[in-house]
Amino acid sequence: MKKTGILNSDLAKIADDLGHTDTVCIGDLGLPVPKGVEKIDLALTRGEPGFQQVLDVYLEHVVVEKVFLAEEIKSENPEQLSAILGKLPPTTAVVFITHEELKARTAQCKAVVRSGEATAYSNIILQSGVTI
């Protein structure tokens, strides 16, 4: 049995299999998941686990070179945006797109990870980088 790291076997497998520029989405409890995209559902109850908790674990184990966020997060959930930006290394590119475009881009993601987050626009697409 695994003692440390990502203990959810589905999420660990996705993280282990990522290549450069592959993408994974971490979303709130309402984000739709397109057919054909793996859904890793971590939601237990409304708010648990929170988006930030899932993001923390992901960032601890995966190199991220670029993220995509909904433009709407700037006005509708600035606290969440501030927390996200505070966790990203300064070399991480941040791209703002419309929420509709973000939802469309999930179709190319390796997986969508569903958190229990219940605040608006708490969704992010993370593009994998390379280790040096």
Residue boundaries of the structural domains of the chain: 9-128
Residues 6+ apart with CB under 8 A from 107: 34, 36, 37
Whether residue 123 is predicted with pLDDT greater than 80 in this model: the reply is yes
pLDDT for residue 6? 92
CATH superfamily of 9-128: RbsD-like domain (3.40.1650.10)
Among residues 20, 44, 60, 75, the one annotated as catalytic is 20
Assign 109 a pLDDT band (cuts: 50, 70, 90). Answer: very high
Is 58 assigned a ligand-binding role in the annotation? no
- Identify the CA nearest to 115 among candidates 55, 49, 68, 67: 49
Burial class (CB in 10 A: 0-12, 13-18, 19+), 25: buried
Mean pLDDT of the 15-44 span: 97
61 is in an annotated binding site: no
Question: What local confidence, expressed as pLDDT, does residue 9 receive?
Answer: 95
Residue 40's pLDDT band (cuts 50, 70, 90): very high
Is 82 annotated to bind ligand? no
Q: 28 with 43: CB under 8 angstroms?
A: no
Claim: this prediction has a pTM higher than 0.85:
yes
Active site residue 20: yes
Instruction: Give the model's confidence band at 4: pLDDT under 50 very low, under 70 low, under 90 confident, else very high.
Output: confident
